[in-house]
Every structure is written in structure tokens, then in C-alpha cells.
Structure 1
Amino acid sequence: MATSALDRDALSDLLDGDPELIATLIGSFLDDCPDYMEGIREAVENEDGNALEREAHGLKGAAGSLRARPVSEAAQVLEEMGYEDNFAEAAAALDTLESEVDRLRDELQALRNACQEAIEE
């Protein structure tokens, strides 16, 4: 069984279980994530180590704030590749990151819906 894309308990603990704060943080991540991913894809395509390091670092931090370890770890791999200016395995690492982001996005949308329901009660 795959590791969960998100540690819901850790996220809830971090934000004192406040559904509004959780929903806001999720919304911010979902808004910013496509920009990070576009930057990462372009950096891999252009073999731009500085851009890859910067964009992957930003995504790693955003995912970390959500306690989304698989995305954070996948982004860290790309960040290190950018730092080392090593693109030998970048396409495979990007595929892994995209899979993890897709899993996370699905879980975040479900959690945000649950938070919205709790807010409306």
C-alpha cells in the first residue's frame, strides 16, 4: 500500500484542527502548485539548474507546510538535481513528482470539501 499523500493528523495538529485555516492553506497550495510545476517542467526541459533548484525548493516548502511528505521529498530530489546541475535522471524524477502531485491534489480537494462542510455546520 502506498504512503498517504498527506499526513492529515499532523496538518490538523499544526493548525489546531481549524477547518477554515486548513481550507485556506489548501486553497493557497492548489493555486500555487500549477505555477511551481510549470516552472519545474520548463527548467527540466531547458536544463536550467538554477530555475529547477528555485522552483523545486518552493514546491518542497509549500508541500512541507501541508505535511505532504511524498511531494516534498520528490521535489527535494529535483531541487538537488538543479543544485548539482545534473539532469541525467530529471525526466524520471519529474514523472515521480507529477504522480505525487496528482495524488496529493485529489486528497487535498477531498479534505477541503470536508473542511467546507464543517465550516457550514
Structure 2
Amino acid sequence: MLYGTETASMRKTEEKKMDVAEMRMLRWMSTVIREDRTRNDYIKGSTKVVEVSKKVQEGRLRWYGHLLRRDEDPTRRHTMVMEGQGRVRRGRPRKRWKDCVRGDLHEKGNDEAEA
């Protein structure tokens, strides 16, 4: 489920869907059905599993650190600061990977210089 997620920009709805799928798998593993009315927190605590959205966030920050440590080859650095060409579409801009990383760093209480 986590394959390639460190390079993808995910919206909140996609993260929520992954969390829901994870809970369904945990319920299936622990043979708990919805009719038992067992809380999700209890199931996560008994299986000792971290939320999949947190794992995605860790992977994204790990990949960002890897990109920052690369050598200063101009062609490789160019991909990090690349801007799109053409007209800007109407409405809200699409969420970019760099925006996800900034949000993750802000949530962890770090800034780009510390990364």
C-alpha cells in the first residue's frame, strides 16, 4: 500500500481512504467485526500499528532529505525547482509534492533549513 507514496502528492481524501483501508485490514486480522462495536483506537493499540498516513509522511520526508543530500549537479537540482509552462488554469492550483513536504515539515515543527 505504501509503494511509491514518498514521491506522490496526496490529498486529504486519498490519505483518508488509505486509513480506512488500513482499519479494515486490522479488523480482519484481529477477527473483530463492526457489530462488536470495538473502538479503532483499541484495535490499533492492541496490534501496535502506526497510522498509514504517518508512514507516508515519514517516507516523504525521508525522500526529501535524500534529495537535499544529493550532489549539486545542475540537472538534478533543476527538477526540484522546476516550474510548469503554459497558461495557469482557473481556480485553485493543484497540490504539488513540494507543498506536501512543506506541510509535513510544518506539522513536525521543522523548517526547510533543518531538513
TM-score, normalised relative to structure 2: 0.32
Larger Rg over CA atoms = 2
Larger relative contact order (CA 8 Å, sep ≥ 6): 2
Higher helix share: 1
TM-score, normalised relative to structure 1: 0.31
